[in-house]
Chain A
Amino acid sequence: MQPIIKIEKLSKKYRLGAREPYYSLRDKISELFKFKGHGRGKTKEFWALKDINLAVKQGEALGIIGRNGAGKSTLLKILSQITPPTKGKITMRGRVASLLEVGTGFHPELTGRENIYLNGAILGMSRREINRKFDEIVAFSEIEKFLDTPVKRYSSGMYVRLAFAVAAHLEPEILLVDEVLAVGDTQFQKKCLGKMSEVGKEGRTVLFVSHNMAAIAELCQSCVMLNKGKIVKVGESKKVISVYLANQYKSLTGSVDLTRPMLRRNSLENSLFKWTQIQVINSRGERTSSLEFAEPFEIIISGRATKAIRGLSAGFGVTSALGFPLFNSHVIDAELPSDYPAGKIIFKAKLNPNLLGPGVYNVDVGAVGEGVADWIPEAIRVNVEQVASKAGKAIRSNYDGIVVHPCEWSVQLKR
């Protein structure tokens, strides 16, 4: 049988560098008067995807994994025709629906009912199709009572539930999903995963990009691992995921430069504050991201403000290697000032005690404020070693769970 998606020698080039993402006519006009070789030309080319070959069978649920900037999202964007490839060819044998974001096009002023129609149409459903599935969508979303309330009054949970309910009722032959399960409460996530595996059973093809390895392992039989725009490994999900996790150990470093534009897909282009570096310091003051079990450590994040900024909320979040969010912490939690002058700002957070169990963790950094939005997922990785000897105390190595919570034990014996 012919594959439903056949990708041949696919490449995508982006230009990065000196030039702004968009320019003004004024710049264009003044450029006309400059000599060639002057001004621009500092643009760097960069291949987001390079020579990708892949065939996806009908009914297959394929996971796509890889670090930030590996090209996962670019691949989905090309498959959903949002952006064209630079080279290569894709042959598709079915109707595609893509979920690169839940709630695309939701309008805050419109009611839940109105947004179901709007979002459904944007995702490619006809009005008849929406009418037919309307009750089902409402039931799935669990928001019956608020159907005629503008969505701007919804809680973020309700918003996501409604958005996913619409998306879950699409009936394309090929479904492209990008990280949408990162939001919403755990119970609803499970419901969505259930709905999506149902989709797979009905003979539909699903391509699923996620940082959540548990979700990938549960949903997808096979998996593709991308790195720097190339396919590194294809095969059974479990095997590919274990290669991915093993690679995470290898790429450990105590300090990461955060100025690369590639890291910033989710940030405001002209954010007044941008992260520049993240460091992890162990209890002996060494810069390393390999920590001993239960060893207190420090996270140092530095950034630069181009102007004086107000209402800055900066902080980080820690997720497990499988992509599960554990906790986050912000400077404002510590009742420190939130207004800063222009210049370099260094935030230090001491994690003492260190409650993380043995394993690899990702640290995301984020900053929001007036004119500020800079969010970098997986800015650095931290490895907590399996076994350590802490001051001569023997520590058992078989911990279950992600968190190691210190407990004060006492034992009583009664007769």
Chain B
Amino acid sequence: MLYEIKPPKGLIQINLSELWRYRDLLYIFVWRDIKVRYKQTAVGVAWGVFQPFLTMVIFSLFFGKLAQVPSEGIPYPVFVYTGLLLWNYFAAALTGSSDSLVANEGIVKKVYFPRLILPLSSTVTPAIDFAISFLVLIAIMFYYGFTPTLIGILIMPVLLLVSLIAAAGLGFLLSSANVKYRDVRFILPFFIQIMLFLTPVIYPVSIIPQKFQWIAYLNPMAGLITLARGLLLHTGVVDWKLLPISLLSALVLFVIGLVYFRKTERFFADIL
């Protein structure tokens, strides 16, 4: 094995074979985060069930009952829970990956490995909660008399994957910004809260005037949530175009994040 160490210049290419060699480390980081989380919290798995369920109950009360937010003829709890399912995953993945470099400072300063693995592994970890919440969704659907369709179930991993790409892209960007500007971690929760209301989680896209809907769909999560509702809950005609549109905007985020990450990556150990 021969390689050179030189001062970084220009755009650095992504070493895919190296990433592949370190795949065990990605797996180990995911495994560590899950293990530690379930060891530290007394309620463990139950938290993954309760948190979205309680949010759903509160949202149904305030937005569904009191504010009478329309839900395309579907009982509001099922409607909002479907949205929260994907949104909670996205928010957790984004929060985790943005914090990943600073949280693992000790390792970054002492050992070499492709740094991308850290934010990437943090986007994989919340998929466990997603799976648990999805089972809860199926239970809620049966309660309200919906039978899940096969296509509805099969599309979920695809929607999860596109959410992962979007969260990872933003996570790359914010995690490396967080190394340099430590106030990123204080701004992020605020940003996520705003995004929750700008994304059609508690309301359907159909309440936005037709000619402005394309703006909403620039946000990859908007298309993904609308698709999930259409396929699982049969809300009118399913617009399959939303899948490539969401994928495209997720990929744009991914590439931007990746480029910025690679540009700043080599100096992480010096700034941290």
Contacts and interface: CB of A to CB of B under 8 A. Distances in A.
Interface in A39-62: none
Nearest to A96: B112
B211 interface: no
Contacts of B10: none
Contact of A25 (B40, B184, B269): B184
Contacts of A77: 269
A346 interface: no
B241 interface: no
Given A83-B269, A121-B28, A104 B181 contact: no
B181 A22 contact: yes
Contact of B111 (A26, A117, A123): A123
Nearest to B23: A126
Q: How large is the interface on A (under 10, 10 to 19, 20 to 34, 35 or more residues)?
A: 35 or more
A22 B110 contact: no
A82 B2 contact: no
A91 interface: yes
B111 A105 contact: yes
Contact of B271 (A21, A84, A121): A21
A100 B24 contact: no
A122 interface: yes
Interface in A56-81: 77-81
A348 interface: no
Contacts, number: 114
Contact of B2 (A89, A93, A117, A118): A93
A121 B5 contact: no
B7 A23 contact: no
Contacts of B39: 109-110
A395 B55 CA distance: 83
Interface residues of B, number: 39
A110 B36 contact: yes
B241 to A, nearest CB: 37
A28 interface: yes
Nearest to A92: B3
Given A25-B181, A82-B112, A114 B35 contact: yes
A83 B270 contact: yes
A25 B112 contact: no
B112 A91 contact: no
Contact of B181 (A28, A88, A96): A28
A114 B36 CA distance: 11
A390 interface: no
Nearest to A89: B6
B65 interface: no
A92 B27 CA distance: 28
B36 A107 contact: yes
B28 A117 contact: yes
Contacts of B2: 91-93
B267 to A, nearest CB: 7
B112 A80 contact: yes
Interface string B237-272: 000000000000000000000000000001101111
Contacts of B28: 117-118, 121-122, 127
A89 B7 CA distance: 8
Contact of A100 (B35, B111, B266): B111
9 contacts: A22-B272, A28-B181, A85-B5, A92-B1, A92-B2, A104-B107, A105-B104, A105-B106, A105-B111
Given A104-B106, A127-B28, 7 more contacts: A22-B181, A22-B272, A24-B181, A91-B2, A98-B112, A100-B110, A126-B24
Interface of A: 14, 21-26, 28, 77-96, 98, 100-101, 104-105, 107, 109-110, 114, 117-118, 121-124, 126-127, 173
Nearest 10 pairs of A and B residues by beta carbon: A121-B28, A90-B5, A81-B112, A25-B181, A24-B183, A105-B107, A104-B110, A82-B269, A100-B110, A84-B266
